[in-house]
């Protein structure tokens, strides 16, 4: 292939990666075997022979040993500081029985000081039989000295023990706020499960972690992300305290992933008043987006649908507190958009998605057309009538493929086979010209991109019951999946000119992979490993083959 480079006359490269199987995600030059790097950026891509001209006496040569070289993964939706904390908290994601759930909580309680809160969890009642929600009675005896508030893995409900409810002042007479639900037993007493906005009743009693704790959690998350080839993350943050931690690390030069932040939309004026617009900041830390919630989740029966749940016919889900009234959400988002801020709105149920699309249309009518890159986060269960509206409004589907192979184990029991046909509609989105941005929602799902790629190309559910794929017509191919996880995610944060492909002039965020993802059996993709992660030309994890 022809040499692609900055200029005819040039200084020597600082690093050349050679003998690589380069998949560039650049459609003009999709494949190569060598990459030259100067400073933080790629300066040339081509054959090893072509790049010999970039060698100098001080050039570091990395022999990739024929391994696959890709752009670094960009996770378009994470809760980064929360995930860092979760790495050291009680782990309940794979608890398969009530007994495992209780024993892990009891073991964690023994590690805590008296009065210290137990948080984290990420439990999923669908893992045990019967799939009953946990109650505070399960864990009270083991946690008499520690208040507990442990989340369901989707973050839309959590379990409090008796001590936590006492400290928060919650009783049988406590009313749930709009957009939330307190689960009660047959006697009318709270079971300890709080859904969506009702979680705030307990959260107000939990001490806020300080700056140093957030910095420590961020560093844990950064280290883990680097080991998996994640070189950029788009962090949905509850407030500005997480951003303060990122800023400290940026000043110290300790960020090993580039971070784009999206605080809650209710505080959009905080950014607008000081002139922040979308993608404002440096190569490593940027702001300019806002995150909003339209509804809850499928697993918590709080995703908002046109029709009732099959297994809970008394409900269609819940609109979030931000959507009550809908006109309030519309007014805030219209103001944020006019100020130049990017809108990233969580919507999972078909009616919630439809309402958000309606709001986007209203905003365009009010503010005119521009390159906004609106995003619907999750975009899981789309009504057929709304599929093509994504493309018509240029809305990005910011999606998490792993959720499909997790929820696919039980989703049809909840919404039936007809609605399932347009659930996680990746193929339809691409065919309609909709931009896909892949992520994980970590800690809701594992941050490992290989699992996301595997999910997108196989749709094989975790229980092994759909080896050919759940709703297989929505599979995409591995090249499309890699692009969604790199260039697609970069586009979703207005950074596709800076990263997302191995192209001269772009940031040298690169990963070396153990297996050729483009040729191996799709079922083997989940087992591939990242052997080297490079951010801005610096190795932050692993190294070249020995």
CA atoms of 536 and 42, how far apart (whole Å): 9
Look at the alpha carbons of 145, 147, 152, 154 in this order and tell me if their dihedral is positive or negative: negative
Separation of alpha carbons 406 and 488, rounded Å: 23
pLDDT at 180: 95
Angle of helix 326-338 versus helix 350-367 axis, rounded to 10? 50
Q: Distances from the Cα of 237 to the Cαs of 83, 143, 242, in angstroms? A: 11, 29, 7
pLDDT of residue 2: 44
Residue range 240-272, pLDDT digits in tens: 999 999 999 999 999 999 999 999 999 999 999
In 3-state terms, what secondary structure has residue 346? strand
SS3 for 424-486 is CCHHHHHHCCCCEEECCCECCCCCCHHHHHHHHHHCCCCCCCCCCCCCHHHCCCHHHHHHHHC
Could you tell me if 326 and 319 are in contact, meaning their C-beta atoms sit under 8 angstroms apart? yes
- Helix/strand/coil for 279: coil
Q: What is the pLDDT of residue 512?
A: 98
Q: At what angle do helices 478-485 and 449-458 cross, to 10 degrees?
A: 140
* Confidence check: pLDDT of 515 > 90: yes
pLDDT of residue 270: 97
Q: What distance in Å separates the CA atoms of residue 510 and residue 533, rounded to the nearest whole number?
A: 6
Report strand pairing: 230-236 vs 73-78: parallel
Task: Report residue 9's pLDDT band, with 50, 70 and 90 as the boundaries.
Answer: low
Give the pair of three-digit tokens for residue 426: 């990746």
pTM: 0.91
pLDDT, position 544? 85
What DSSP state is assigned to residue 29?
S
Task: Record the tokens describing residue 460, joined without a space.
Answer: 């094989």
Structural domains in the chain, sorted by start = 1-72+500-546 (2.30.40.10), 90-203 (3.10.310.70)
Q: Is the pLDDT assigned to residue 8 strictly greater than 60?
A: no
The two three-digit tokens of residue 168, written as one number: 């928060």
* CB 72 within 8 Å of CB 498: no
Q: Which of 116-120, 126-130, 265-269, 453-457 has the lowest mean pLDDT?
A: 126-130
Q: β-strands 149-152, 120-123: how paired? A: parallel
């Amino acid at each position: 292939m022809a040499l692609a480079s900055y200029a005819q006359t040039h200084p020597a490269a600082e690093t050349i990666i050679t003998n690589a199987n380069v998949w560039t995600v650049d459609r003009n030059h999709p494949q190569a075997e060598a990459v030259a790097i100067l400073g933080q950026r790629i300066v040339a891509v081509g054959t090893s022979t072509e790049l010999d001209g970039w060698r100098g006496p001080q050039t570091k040569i990395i022999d990739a040993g024929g391994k696959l070289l890709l752009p670094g993964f960009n996770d378009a939706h994470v809760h980064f500081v929360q995930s860092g904390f979760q790495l050291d908290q009680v782990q309940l994601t794979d608890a398969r029985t009530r007994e495992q759930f209780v024993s892990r909580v009891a073991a964690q309680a023994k590690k805590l000081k008296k009065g210290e809160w137990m948080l984290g969890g990420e439990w999923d009642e669908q893992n045990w039989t019967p799939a009953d929600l946990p109650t505070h009675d399960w864990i009270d005896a083991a946690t008499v000295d520690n208040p507990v508030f442990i989340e369901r893995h989707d973050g839309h409900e959590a379990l409090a023990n008796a001590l936590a409810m006492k400290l928060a002042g919650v009783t049988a007479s406590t009313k749930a706020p709009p957009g939330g639900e307190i689960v009660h037993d047959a006697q009318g007493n709270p079971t300890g499960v709080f859904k969506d906005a009702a979680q705030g009743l307990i959260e107000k009693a939990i001490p806020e972690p300080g700056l140093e704790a957030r910095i420590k959690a961020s560093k844990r998350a950064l280290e883990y992300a680097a080991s998996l080839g994640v070189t950029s993350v788009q962090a949905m943050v509850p407030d500005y305290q997480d951003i303060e931690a990122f800023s400290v690390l940026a000043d110290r030069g300790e960020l090993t992933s580039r971070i784009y932040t999206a605080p809650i939309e209710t505080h959009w004026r905080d950014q607008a008043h000081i002139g922040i617009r979308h993608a404002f900041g440096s190569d490593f830390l940027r702001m300019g987006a806002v995150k909003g919630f339209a509804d809850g989740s499928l697993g918590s029966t709080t995703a908002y649908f046109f029709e009732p749940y099959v297994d809970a016919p008394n409900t269609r889900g819940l609109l979030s507190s931000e959507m009550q009234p809908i006109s309030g959400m519309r007014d805030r988002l219209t103001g944020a958009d006019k100020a130049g801020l990017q809108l990233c709105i969580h919507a999972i149920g078909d009616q919630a998605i439809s309402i958000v699309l309606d709001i986007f249309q209203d905003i365009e009518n009010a503010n005119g057309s521009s390159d906004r890159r609106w995003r619907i986060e999750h975009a899981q269960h789309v009504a057929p009538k709304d599929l093509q509206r994504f493309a018509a409004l240029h809305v990005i589907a910011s999606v998490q493929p792993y959720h499909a192979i997790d929820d696919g184990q039980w989703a049809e029991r909840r919404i039936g086979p007809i609605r399932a046909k347009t659930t996680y509609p990746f193929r339809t989105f691409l065919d309609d010209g909709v931009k896909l941005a892949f992520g994980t929602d970590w800690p809701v799902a594992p941050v490992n991109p290989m699992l996301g790629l595997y999910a997108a190309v196989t749709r094989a559910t975790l229980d092994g019951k759909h080896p050919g794929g759940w709703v297989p017509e929505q599979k995409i191919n591995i090249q499309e999946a890699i692009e969604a996880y790199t260039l697609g995610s970069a586009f979703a944060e207005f950074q596709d000119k800076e990263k997302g492909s191995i192209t001269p002039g772009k940031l040298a965020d690169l990963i070396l992979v153990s297996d050729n993802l483009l040729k191996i059996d799709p079922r083997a993709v989940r087992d591939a490993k990242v052997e080297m992660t490079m951010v801005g030309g610096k190795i932050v994890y692993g190294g070249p083959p020995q």
